[in-house]
Amino acid sequence: MPEAALLPDGATLREAPADPGPGANDPAPGPCPGTEALVALCRGLAAGLGGEVALAGLHRFPDGEAGVRLVHDLAGRDVVLAVHLHDPDPKLLPLAFLADLCRDLGARRVVLCAPYLPYMRQDARFRPGEAITSASFARVVSRYVDGLVTVDPHLHRHPTLDAIYAVPSRVVAAAPLLAAWIASRVPRPVVVGPDEESAQWARAVAEGAGAPWLVLTKVRRGDHAVEVSRPDLAGLAGLAAAPEARAGGQASAAGWGDRTPVLVDDIVSTAGTVVRTLERLRAEGARPAVVAAVHAVFAGDGWARLQAAGPAEVVTTTTIPHATNGIDVAPALAPALADLLAALGRA
């Protein structure tokens, strides 16, 4: 088998280090409490790549320093570091140690698979003296890995990941995954984007689901204060019959009729935007809306606030472990990893 297509032993999937718990003096490899979602991700990737799963151990010393250990033959092999990078600060240094250890043990290439890529929203200097942490984080990560695969990073002011990362990358689009879920689970949906930034993304989801779509306008007054415009619903009751309201066309109607709004977003953090959008849709006479999001950040009381807003259902992808996970990204990540590894092998 050509090297670019992965040798029979495939890529070694390395779980992100997990704390073995109090009283553990040796960072022995093995699954630890709370790592079930990550182990499931690794197994899904291994199945798609024809590789194997190996677990790394992390030990925290009494002074707070970290030690990592893995027991596996990595000589001449490709290693995929699979890690959930929400709450990234305590994970970044152990991840760097682990990547460095893989090289020390003879790994041929080390690729990071981070379904959620943090620090992407700080993409400009909003106030004098602020660090542009998306670029700072990218420079740190680029020092330790040969490539990166992620799902729908928050690219707003950065045109691509190449603008800030110094290593090759592949981006997996979650829109087809959300579209397939909506098409199979929500009868007569209308896809709703909460703000102008979501327009292209909402349209892609709607077209994949064969549904109409609309986009609202958002004004952010602070970290938690958000205002959302009224939706333009002229003619929605006759949507199915109206030529201009064909599947994938922008919804513009007088009422919701029997349509179910599906609010789609890439990141739900404080949930302020989603909550205000749900309130606006309810005030306009819509049915309880379904919320479908890619990254379930749910910072602070975000999840409680969203539950209190009364959505019909909330579904997220497995980029961040959460009770709402219902859309698995591993089957889409594996081909992207295989493509990146093949490209690195040709370089």
The half-sphere exposure of 282 on its side-chain side, counting CA atoms within 13 A, is: 13
Residue 333: pLDDT over 80: yes
User: Are 46 and 71 within one domain?
Assistant: yes
Q: Give the pLDDT of residue 30.
A: 40
User: Are 57 and 84 within one domain?
Assistant: yes
Name the residue with higher pLDDT: 307 or 251: 307
User: Are 183 and 314 within one domain?
Assistant: yes
User: Are 163 and 48 within one domain?
Assistant: yes
Residue 1: pLDDT over 70: no
Contact 17, 57 (CB under 8 A): yes
Mean model confidence pLDDT for the chain: 83
Chain center to CA of 15: 17
Q: How many CB atoms lie within 10 A of CB 96?
A: 17
Question: Domain of 305?
Answer: 175-327
Phi-psi category of 41—alpha, beta or left, where left has phi over 0 and alpha has psi -120 to 50? alpha
User: What residues pair up with 42 in beta bridges, in sequence order?
Assistant: none
Residue 264, classed as helix, strand or coil, is strand
User: Are 243 and 340 within one domain?
Assistant: no
User: Are 199 and 183 within one domain?
Assistant: yes
Average pLDDT over every residue of 71-83: 93
Q: Give the pLDDT of residue 14.
A: 54
User: Are 21 and 135 within one domain?
Assistant: yes
Q: Give the pLDDT of residue 242.
A: 36
pLDDT in tens, 256-266: 778 999 999 99
pLDDT in tens, 272-331: 989 999 998 998 889 999 999 999 999 999 999 999 999 999 999 999 999 999 999 999
Q: In the chain, how many domains are there?
A: 2
User: Are 146 and 269 within one domain?
Assistant: no
Q: How many CB atoms lie within 10 A of CB 300?
A: 13
Contact 15, 54 (CB under 8 A): yes
Name the residue with higher pLDDT: 99 or 31: 99
User: Are 67 and 90 within one domain?
Assistant: yes
Residue 117: pLDDT over 90: yes
Residue 247: pLDDT over 70: no
Burial class of residue 131, CB neighbours in 10 A (0-12, 13-18, 19+): exposed
Q: Which amino acids are annotated catalytic?
A: 218
Q: How confident is the model at residue 209 (pLDDT cuts 50, 70, 90)?
A: very high
pLDDT in tens, 126-156: 899 999 999 999 999 999 999 999 999 988 8
User: Are 317 and 335 within one domain?
Assistant: no
CATH code of 195's domain: 3.40.50.2020
Instruction: Write the DSSP symbol of residue 279.
Output: H
Query: Of 5, 182, 186, which Cα lies nearest the Cα of 78?
Result: 5
User: Are 143 and 194 within one domain?
Assistant: no
Q: Give the pLDDT of residue 221.
A: 55
User: Are 203 and 108 within one domain?
Assistant: no
